[in-house]
Amino acid sequence: MKLTRALTYLLPCTSITASIPKSEITYLSTSIALFWIWAELPLKITLIAPKVSVLSEGHPASPGNRHPLMVGHIRIKKNAWIGAGAIILPGVTIGENSIVAAGAVVSISVPDNTIVGDIPAKVIKEI
């Protein structure tokens, strides 16, 4: 699934099934904030817990230049699990089979088969 325009969703549902083959499973829990300009979700088993924020845009740090949006591509690979309250920032890839701990703030890409957690997120262990 690719989204190419600015979207903001708070999903009151527990799953999305439109345009996803029956053999594919993507689980999105309640109250997920998706601020996407460009993001990819796989079609193979991805778990996203409640109150996760996926934020593909931000603003420059320079005080005189904060008004324009900076867009960063976000990619969540298959079989990833994103814990409750996690925040995924622009430019990040969540690796295949990886786990993002609840409450983590992910500002760098997560390798495949890795558990990350903390603020900012860091590798806890490889799986």
Task: Residue count of the chain, please give it.
Answer: 127
Selecting among 1, 6, 15, 59, the annotated active-site residue is: 59
Rg (CA), the chain: 14
What CA–CA distance (Å, rounded) separates 65 from 61? 7
Active-site residue, 59 included: yes
What CA–CA distance (Å, rounded) separates 55 from 49? 15
Q: Which residues are catalytic?
A: 59
